[in-house]
Amino acid sequence: MTGLLQDVIEPGFFSSEPVHVALVVGAVVALVSAVVGVFTVLRGQSFAGHALGDVGTTGGSGAFLVGVNPLWGFVTAAVVGAGIMELFGIRRQRGRDLATGIVLGGALGVAALFLYLDSNSVNTTGATFTVLFGSIFAINQSTVAVVVLMSLLALVTIGVLYRPLLLSSLNVDMACARGVPVRTLGGLYLLAMAVAVSLSCITIGAILSTALLIGPAAGALRLTKRPGLAMAWAALIGVASTWLGILLAYDSYYWPPVHRGWPVSFFVVTLIFLVYLVADISSERRGRQLSRQRSGRSTAARRDTPRNSNQPHSAVGGR
Amino acid sequence: MFSGFMVNTWLVATMVAVIAGVVGTFAVLRGSAFVAHAVPQAGFAGAAGASLVGLSTVWGLAVFAVMSALGIGWLSRRGRHDAMTALGLVVMLGLGALFLSFSNEYEPAIFGLLFGEVLGISNNDVLVTAVLGVLCVTAIAVLYRPLLLSSVLPEIGEARGVDSRTMKVCFLVVVALATTMTLPIVGALLMFSLMIGPAGAARSFTRRPLPALGLSVCLAVATVWIAIAAAYEWNWPIGFFVGGLGAVFYIAGRCWARSREARVSRLAAAT
């Protein structure tokens, strides 16, 4: 039994300090990302959720340049980026994604400049790589407390805004009619997301940040339609994938082909994606079953309504 | 600036700009800014993989870009297009991280793929870019009307017998093709700025599709030319100029659109 356990879990996994930090920070980030992520997916702001991390990279590389703790560069840049996106103030998703793209493009250009200056002036060989990909095993101990604290702040913001935010995410018109300040809420939400995303970005890298924000939430929303339950599911999926990914990455140190370990981000992303695929396909099958049952019950009704017939709508556009 | 090795740079960069302008117009029209960001990054992962097994990076780029385009198309068959794009993107980037961890490639090579390398372009590169470019423009020209209809009014397109899902897949594959040819030159991160910035600005200046397309191409070419000249002059990364100019053009377009709106409403109030 112990032999089997040792095959699954390499010796030293539970006594290693970096692993402890990775497990704790990974769980916190996965939890916050899951809660924020459900709103992100519902509101259709996945692009902003991904872009703010990259915008944070610009601040991170700028902070490298002037010698400030990159953490503050990340958060500042992401918050400023979110502010500019909000300033464009476009409600429709198409235009909003475009504004996000412009902010992202500009920020990436500046990041290219900063990184170029970084690698010219100071010899920071790994700077490019670290900022872009991050590593959950190389978390700076001193920043852990700040990361956890600010993540909780983002979480509390979402918690306070929960009901009006949910209403304005699902149905803008009804929220307006109810007197919910939709624009302010959207801005506050974007700020909370900027803080959460930039923090997760600097601790676990841009790839994992987006993966944990969108993947578990999208999977959970395929499993259930209820937002509260979806958040619980998303948190479960996120934390489980992160921990299992960390374990696998730790084990992979002796795996071929290079014997220096496979990246954590690969494992976590793959796990999240597999969970999503299972949720997606099972929900599609369930949906088909439901509609078959429903159509079985109302065959007579269906014959009368042209909407359910399989005829193409040729009459509408044929001239 | 215009001699010897720079000739190929100018040639290829101009071709890249034309393609980015054309494809970008549709990306903006369809609200697919995220896809324009995701597919090049997926291509970057493919390039890393190809260099790992010793193939030409162009093949890795092409395969991964097309694969991610088709994957995103399939994943978003039941809506939530943006979330599915994010999911496809991170899966590809996860693979890219894996490939990079296997390879012993020196960092500047990766940096070049992300941020672009406009110098030292061989005649062979020019040829490949030209062929892929002609392919892209032909595809857009053939698809022009149905693609336009299904981008602007998908329901009416459906009614007219234009399947919006087929159009989506076609468009994604065109983006993938465009990515393959442009990525080694402008880089994964800034290919995106070149597609979105000029096209977004052009759309603010005019609402009519064909003039917007022309303007977008002109702005993209101008962006690239200015960027290369500036990068040559000051030796700063070209990506900085491409990204910055894209944002400047877009903001100018927005300001122009807003002032025109104000003028129109003033006129309406006066009459």
* B250 chain-A contacts, CB cut-off 8 A: 102
Which of the residue ranges A222-231, B45-54, B163-172 has the most confident prediction, judged by mean pLDDT? A222-231
Assess if residue A108 is contained within a domain. Answer: yes
| Cβ atoms A70, A60 nearer than 8 A | yes
pLDDT of residue A284: 83
* A126 chain-B contacts, CB cut-off 8 A: 107
pLDDT in tens, A38-57: 998 988 888 888 888 888 88
For chain B, percent helix, then strand, then coil, each to nearest 5?
Answer: 85, 0, 15
pLDDT of residue B38: 85
Which residues 40-79 of A are in CB contact (within 8 Å) with B? 40-41, 44-47, 49-51
pLDDT of residue A310: 43
Assess if residue A106 is contained within a domain. Answer: yes
pLDDT-based confidence at A273, cuts 50/70/90? very high
pLDDT of B16 higher than 50: yes
The ipTM assigned to this model is: 0.83
pLDDT-based confidence at A274, cuts 50/70/90? very high
Assess if residue A313 is contained within a domain. Answer: no
Assess if residue A282 is contained within a domain. Answer: yes
pLDDT of A35 higher than 80: yes
Which residues 232-291 of A are in CB contact (within 8 Å) with B? 257-258, 260-263, 265-266, 268-270, 272-273, 276, 280, 284
How many CA within 13 A on the CB side of residue A25?
31
CA distances to A187, A196, A198, A238, B108 from A192, in Å? 9, 6, 10, 19, 35
Tokens, residue A114: 């900063």
pLDDT of A300 higher than 70: no
Single-letter amino acid code for the residue at A201: C
Q: Count how many domains chain B has.
A: 1
d(CA B212, CA B198): 10
Q: Count how many domains chain A has.
A: 1
Is the bond preceding residue A257 a cis peptide, omega within 30 degrees? yes
Name the residue among A102, A208, A265 with its Cβ closest to that of B196: A102
Single-letter amino acid code for the residue at B117: E
pTM: 0.82
CATH of the domain at A79: 1.10.3470.10
Please give the residue range of the domain that contains residue B188: 6-197
CATH of the domain at B190: 1.10.3470.10
User: What is the separation of C-alpha B95 from the centre of its chain, rounded to a whole number of angstroms?
Assistant: 22
Assess if residue B226 is contained within a domain. Answer: no
Assess if residue A114 is contained within a domain. Answer: yes
Burial category of B268 from C-beta neighbours within 10 Å (exposed 0-12, middle 13-18, buried 19 and up): exposed
pLDDT of residue B116: 64
Average pLDDT over residues A87-96: 70
pLDDT-based confidence at A259, cuts 50/70/90? low
Average pLDDT over residues A176-196: 84
pLDDT of residue A8: 62
pLDDT in tens, A11-21: 666 667 777 77
pLDDT of residue B1: 61
Assess if residue A299 is contained within a domain. Answer: no
Please give the residue range of the domain that contains residue A47: 2-292
The reply to whether residue A105 touches residue B190, judged by beta carbons under 8 angstroms, is: yes
pLDDT of A304 higher than 60: no
Nearest residue to B57 via CA among B6, B5, B125, B2: B125
pLDDT-based confidence at A305, cuts 50/70/90? very low
pLDDT of residue A134: 61
pLDDT of residue A271: 92
* B30 chain-A contacts, CB cut-off 8 A: 94
Assess if residue B257 is contained within a domain. Answer: no
For A202, residues 6+ apart whose C-beta sits below 8 A from its C-beta are A56, A60, A70, A71, A74, A134, A143, A147
* B contact test, residue of A43, A47, A119, A137 with most B CBs within 10 A: A47
Name the residue among B90, B189, B241 with its Cβ closest to that of A210: B90
d(CA B154, CA B182): 29
Assess if residue A305 is contained within a domain. Answer: no
